[in-house]
Structure 1
Amino acid sequence: MMFGVVNNNCEAIIKIAVGRIGLPKITVDAVIDTGFTSFLSLPLSIITSLGLPWHYRDIGTLGDGSEVIFEVYKASVIWDGQNKIIDVVASDADPLVGMGLLYGFKLQIETVEGGTVTIEALK
């Protein structure tokens, strides 16, 4: 089970350890975004500092319906206590956890400032 908190902007935040496969990880605060279908997005500055390997380009549709080209990298995260290899999308926004990473888990959010975010594996 993983835990997070709702911040003063009513964003559900969790800490996620991310890094290059086989190397030490850093911890980042990431906003849970149920409208984001991939696994994780990170600013290019973090991707570069971690030395994440480039994987491919993909076309994505934003919330306003516009399409953009995303650069996708490979990374290792610790998710529910396990190492997991995932795609990471380069973005200008704050780190986001998407539905790809949440798939197979139950997400509960107490939607008030300081509320608890709970993520647990479905049985």
Structure 2
Amino acid sequence: MIEGKFSRKGELFFEIDFVAADGLIITVDALLDTGFTDWLAINTQDAVSLGWQLVDSQETRLTAQGEAQFNIYAGTVSLDGQEFNIPVIGGEEIAEVLLGLPWLFTRRLVVDIPNNLLTLG
């Protein structure tokens, strides 16, 4: 189980680890976005710098602003000491690391704002 934190606006953030192609571990804060239906989204530049393999380019996805083109990378992330090989959406306009809805099919989310408790496990 990993503990998260709330932003001032009440957004849900979790610390996750990216596993680069060379094995380097990079810890980042990721925003849980239940409206995002893929596993993970990051900026294309970050996916390239991690050495993640490009699987598909210019794949169309529906966003809140309409349809957009994204690259798909084969990425590895670590949550709570467990590694996952997942498809990762990469885009030039992605400003924050986003965790998507599929994580909630494999993990239990507890959100208790009054008690400042946020866990994913």
TM range (shorter): 0.7 to 0.9
| Amino acid in the other structure paired with 1:108 | V
Which residue is equivalent to 1:105?
Answer: 107
Match of 2:10 in 1: 10
Q: Give a deviation string over 1:47-98, Cα, whole Å, max 9, x none.
A: 122121101133211124x111210111111123211101111132211000
Equivalent position SS for 2:45: helix
Unpaired runs of 5+ in structure 2?
none
- What TM-score, normalized to structure 2? 0.85
The aligned counterpart of 1:118 is 119
Correspondence for 1:25: 25
Any idea what SS the aligned residue of 1:38 has? coil
Work out the CA distance in 1 between the residues paired with 2:22 and 2:101: 25
SS of corresponding position for 1:101: helix
8 Å CA contact 1:55–1:74 kept in 2: the answer is yes
Contiguous gaps of at least 5 residues in structure 1: none
* Identical-residue share of aligned pairs (%): 28
- 2: CA distance, partners of 1:56 / 1:102: 25
Q: CA RMSD in A?
A: 1.9
**1:118 alignment partner AA:** T
TM-score calculated relative to the size of structure 1:
0.84
Q: How many residues align?
A: 118
